[in-house]
Amino acid sequence: MESFYEFNDVDFDIDLLLDYQNKKIIESTNYSTIMQACEDCLQYSRMYGIVAEPGYGKSSTFEHFILKNKKNVHYIALKRAMSNKDFYNKILERSGWSNVYRTSKLYDIIESIGYHLAQLPGKHLLIIDEAGKLSHNQRLCLHDLRDAVKGNTGVILAGPNYFHTELLDQKSKQLQGIPELFRRIDMFVTLDPPSNNEKRELFRQNGFKNQLLINSASKSCEHLGDVYRTVENFAILAKRRKS
């Protein structure tokens, strides 16, 4: 909608709008659900799957939880190009250790993750985001990873709906390693699309003041990711006006 909007300064708190890169967080239903899931897995060494489509606020909420628990949360966002060893070496690195012997066997890398995490004081949480990009070979060893770290570390696997659907399909087909993985996942948490009220509140927190504009912009946004993108577009319009 910003393509045909005639920018008016009175519709915005310009300072807030131009601060769009400082991503605002609203305490939405999904935010509360994810924060509680992270807290449960951290405190009780649980393993949860979080199922959420892109733009539902999953990754930004993880960032907020990490800020509150910096020393105890180890986060990895999966990349499609990661090999099996790349993936597990990255987890080892996020746990605070480096595998100087890059040719180590995968079994040794996973055991090293468990060993090193066990040496750290307190409870820990491993978050594997973008889990929909896990290859079948990477999924095969997740139950071994869970067994290696369960003494003091919870695990969260977070991915979109198709990730959960694929796992269910692979479980029904009894594919190697998948039934064993399911036995170790304590719960799947499925997030709902953000409500219109939540989208409107996020626009307000980013400096939008005109209620008609807020309503119109919210209706054009499918999820929170669209809201952030729209805010950035309006911020660019504001910068043009100032230049």
Give pLDDT, residue 103: 59
If we measure between CA atoms, which residue out of 129, 130, 128, 183 comes closest to residue 155? 128
Task: Choose one of 190, 214, 230: the last residue of a domain.
Answer: 190
Sheet containing 124-129, strands listed edge to edge, beginning at the edge strand earlier in sequence: 73-77, 124-129, 153-159, 47-51, 187-190
Residues 228 and 145 in one domain: no
Residues 56 and 124 in one domain: yes
CATH number at residue 161: 3.40.50.300
Residues 152 and 53 in one domain: yes
If we measure between CA atoms, which residue out of 209, 208, 240, 241 comes closest to residue 227? 208
Residues 56 and 114 in one domain: yes
Per the structure, the complete domain to which residue 235 belongs is given by 2-24+194-242
Residues 33 and 152 in one domain: yes
- pLDDT of 98 over the 80 cut: no
pLDDT in tens, 120-154: 999 999 999 999 999 988 898 999 999 999 999 99
Bridge partners (DSSP) of residue 20 are: none
Residues 83 and 203 in one domain: no
Residue count of the chain, please give it: 243
Residues 156 and 68 in one domain: yes
Domain count, the chain: 2
Residues 115 and 99 in one domain: yes
Task: Choose one of 169, 190, 211: the last residue of a domain.
Answer: 190
Report d(CA 118, CA 110) in Å as an integer.
13
Give pLDDT, residue 104: 76
79: burial class by Cβ within 10 Å (0-12, 13-18, 19+)? Answer: exposed
In contact, 104 and 50? CB cutoff 8 Å: no
Q: What is the value of pTM for the model shown? A: 0.90
Which sign does the torsion angle of CA 146, 149, 155, 160 carry?
negative
DSSP sequence for 125-142:
EEEEESGGG--HHHHHTH
Give pLDDT, residue 232: 96
Residues 38 and 50 in one domain: yes
**208: left (phi > 0), else alpha (psi -120 to 50), else beta?**
beta
Antiparallel, parallel or unpaired: β 153-159 and 47-51: parallel
Residues 106 and 225 in one domain: no
Residues 109 and 34 in one domain: yes
pLDDT in tens, 61-85: 999 999 999 889 999 999 999 999 9
Residues 179 and 62 in one domain: yes
